Structure 1
Amino acid sequence: MRKSALAVYASDASHTRGRRVFEPPAPTRSEFQRDRDRIVHSSAFRRLVYKTQVFLNHEGDMFRTRLTHSLEVAQVARSIARPLGLDEDLVEAIALAHDLGHTPFGHAGQDALHDCMRHYGGFEHNMQSLRVVDVLEQRYADFDGLNLTYETREGILKHSSATNARLIEAREPGGIARRFLDPSQPSPSLEAQLCNLADSIAYNAHDIDDGVRSGLLTEAQLEEVPLFSVYRRATLAQHPHLQAAPKRWLYATLREMLSAQIYDVIETTQAQLRAHAPDSADAVRRLPLLVRFSDAMHQQAVELKRALFANLYRHPVVEDTTGRAKQVIQALFTYYFAAQQDMPADFAVRAAQAQSQDEQARVVADFIAGMTDRYALRAHQRLTGVHIMDGALTVYQ
């Protein structure tokens, strides 16, 4: 039965497109609740606590990791989903799973692993997240992976190259990759659209927080960012005593900035829904993306992202650390591709059974992508005798 608060254009767990392997319904949980629960109990989800967001996990206890980032995305997404009448369980499942395929060391690790896999099909973390939930998790007797619903898997695969989309389409005709190949069905569900935007909202805010905490982002740099500075000035005008308490005015400013973005998405998306009037979740898939910022807020978010790239992600101290992280990934791939028998037994067996070098390389990539930061560093140190992160990033407060 449809929940009373669920809009007609929302995904409905009682009318899901189903799982790849049939399972009878659970007596007390919806299909999307089951997906969320399976994700939370997965090994890949637990490992996110030791995977880099921007700053390496060992560099400070207060910095975000992939796990805390995923939780913040889920919170932002649910805050928007409820007033829009979307399925909050599906939103939460997608948000918690969207980074399961991320490598150690964040985007630096992903880029390095893609370089290593360039001649073997490449590496995309969205594809890897899908591999985690479809294949790599080994928790159930009757199937590999978590056997999630179509709708959750659709949200996890938020981007895909045409090559990978064709590979998925060949295995799963008319499935989750169709939208990357068929212009008449360009969009995923509203819940998937929402999680994609919530991801951006969350990491823009928490990267400011972590950047200031690290000492790499300065007040003067942030003052040049309109989306931040307007709320900073309003906060200090309303609470002038916070001028002497920088952490508190920072938190207050970020809270106001987040709220403004959330309300903007709700209002803009409601206007889009009124204009297009989809009468089902399938109708949404035939429309352009409807979950969006207003044009003005979108431009401000773009300017904020540019500032973060210039002042934080490309800061010489961060680039030095990420450069070392890339060396770790490259060294691990080179070693394990040449000595596949030295991987844990389940990976070594898969590599031995592989029918081509491409398949062998994919097994090595699966192994490395599943590592946490500290596991990768320890493996690298054991194999090379080098403490590659010694002296890295020592400015934290």
Structure 2
Amino acid sequence: MHAPYATIPEDSRGRLHAEGGSAHRSPFQRDRDRIIHCSAFRRLKHKTQVFVEYEGDYFRTRLTHSIEVAQVARTVSRTLGLNEDLAEAVALAHDLGHPPFGHTGEDALAEAMAPYGGFDHNAQALKIVTDLERHYAEWDGLNLTWETLEGIAKHNGPVTPLRGDGPVTGDLPFALAEYDARHDLELDSHASAEAQVAALADDIAYNNHDLHDGLRAGLFTVDDICDLPVVGRCFADVDRRWPGLDAERRQHEALRRVFGVMVEDVLEESARLLRAAAPGSAAEVRALGAPVIRFSPEMWTDLKVIRQFLFARMYRHWTVRRMRRKAARIVRELFEDFMADPGMLPEDWSEAALAARSDTLRARIVADYIAGMTDRFAIEEHRALRGEMKRG
């Protein structure tokens, strides 16, 4: 039973290209399935969060991260009476637009694209599902519902001239402006509660797995993180209940409690906000002017301390900084080479780039090609063009 403020499949605003319904799946279930089966989703297996893909089999990739985000989104949505399928679809799609090498690759591509309208991974995810996935007979893209597209575009909040999520062209990130011109996603309002759930599930997942991955990589120790809020309390709880527990089990038990604390906080705070606002429909959620799926102020303060620690000890660790520099160089030089000679692109891409009527259109084709690369493929392409990138 859905709550009054949930997004109801029968009330969907539909798809850009009209389709018949399914006898067995709701519109949002079909969206989820199309995302899972698309090429861009499979490529997430070889795209990284922090570490370059070849550095180890145990570190999270964009694919494992997306699966974890979807799991959290389903749990939170079910508990709050929201539509699990819509939340899951947005969660699974939220990282489709990331280029190789995580945020390092995005920063490098955004810098290269600055003269041509910039680059933003949320906007790129929208472009992938509305244009670049070209497998269906009747349309480009996946022809997802309006609600799923809205969630992909603005799960982090309204996208306006006053609040962009990356480099912009005019008022909006380029790909968002391009699609919004033909299919209004109402970018100046908040998204559905389900999309907001996907955004918070993303925060929960990466806060937790960055602690796991940083420990596994040896960038910091358990003793280091026991001084952090939330984390220290969870380790102390494990030590009280199981004194003398071996190190690996102790770490796992404590960090899964950190995960649980974050989820419970979102559930309690969001339930409180929903009771106070009492929205009677998904449309009323969008009209509230503020998100209703949130961490409590206390948890948000604690998470900022954790993120500051991770920034200093993980994202700016010398080994990560070295790899970030190499990764940024790969993206930058690939862009330079393909812009200088679009004929070096694969045939279907080179034809489009050579036919482009302006440098901006050509740059966007080059950026689309690079953004779709996995870490491994970007390294191979760079090696073919510029010589081998040595590891380490």
1:75 aligns with 2:71: yes
CA-CA distance at 1:121 after TM superposition: 0.4
| Matched residue, 2:187 | 179
Which TM-score applies when normalising by structure 1? 0.92
In 1, distance between residues paired with 2:29 and 2:180? Answer: 29
1:222 aligns with 2:216: no
Question: Counterpart of 1:253 in structure 2: which amino acid?
Answer: A
Q: How does 1:103-122 map to 2 (within 5 A)?
A: 103-122=99-118
In 1, distance between residues paired with 2:223 and 2:252? Answer: 17
1:311 aligns with 2:319: no
* Of 9, 14, 28, the match for 2:24: 28
Deviations 1:32-67 (A, max 9, x none): 000000000000000000001111110001110000
My pick for the range that moved more, 322-331 or 247-256, is 247-256
Seen in structure 2, the aligned counterparts of structure 1 residues 8 and 168 have a Cα distance that, compared at 3 Å, is: farther
Q: How does 1:132-147 map to 2 (within 5 A)?
A: 132-147=128-143
Question: Counterpart of 1:220 in structure 2: which amino acid?
Answer: D
Question: Counterpart of 1:372 in structure 2: which amino acid?
Answer: T
* Of 157, 164, 183, the match for 2:153: 157
In percent, how many aligned pairs have the same letter? Answer: 46
Q: How does 1:183-262 map to 2 (within 5 A)?
A: 186-242=189-245, 245-262=246-263
Question: Counterpart of 1:134 in structure 2: which amino acid?
Answer: T
Q: How does 1:229-378 map to 2 (within 5 A)?
A: 229-242=232-245, 245-287=246-288, 288-378=290-380
Question: Counterpart of 2:61 in structure 1: which amino acid?
Answer: T
In 1, distance between residues paired with 2:259 and 2:144? Answer: 31
Q: For structure 1, which runs of at least 5 residues remain unmatched after alignment?
A: 181-185, 393-397
My pick for the range that moved more, 217-226 or 132-141, is 217-226
Instruction: Tell me the SS of whatever aligns to 1:163.
Output: coil
CA-CA distance at 1:353 after TM superposition: 2.6
Whether the 8 Å contact between 1:208 and 1:217 is mirrored in structure 2 is no
CA-CA distance at 1:26 after TM superposition: 1.2
Whether the 8 Å contact between 1:135 and 1:145 is mirrored in structure 2 is yes
Instruction: Tell me the SS of whatever aligns to 2:51.
Output: coil
Q: For structure 2, which runs of at least 5 residues remain unmatched after alignment?
A: 165-170
Question: Counterpart of 2:38 in structure 1: which amino acid?
Answer: S
In 2, distance between residues paired with 1:363 and 1:109? Answer: 17
Question: Counterpart of 1:43 in structure 2: which amino acid?
Answer: S
Instruction: Tell me the SS of whatever aligns to 1:117.
Output: helix
In 2, distance between residues paired with 1:146 and 1:170? Answer: 16
Which TM-score applies when normalising by structure 2? 0.94
CA-CA distance at 1:168 after TM superposition: 4.5
- Length, aligned pairs only: 377
Seen in structure 2, the aligned counterparts of structure 1 residues 171 and 179 have a Cα distance that, compared at 3 Å, is: closer
My pick for the range that moved more, 98-107 or 226-235, is 226-235
CA-CA distance at 1:163 after TM superposition: 2.5
Seen in structure 2, the aligned counterparts of structure 1 residues 46 and 170 have a Cα distance that, compared at 3 Å, is: closer
Whether the 8 Å contact between 2:49 and 2:61 is mirrored in structure 1 is yes
In 1, distance between residues paired with 2:39 and 2:194? Answer: 24
Deviations 1:195-251 (A, max 9, x none): 001101000100100110010122232122112111011111111121xx2221111
Deviations 1:248-305 (A, max 9, x none): 1111111111111111111111111110100000000011100001111111111111
1:167 aligns with 2:177: yes
| Matched residue, 2:40 | 44
In 1, distance between residues paired with 2:220 and 2:150? Answer: 36
Question: Counterpart of 1:52 in structure 2: which amino acid?
Answer: T
Whether the 8 Å contact between 2:120 and 2:173 is mirrored in structure 1 is no
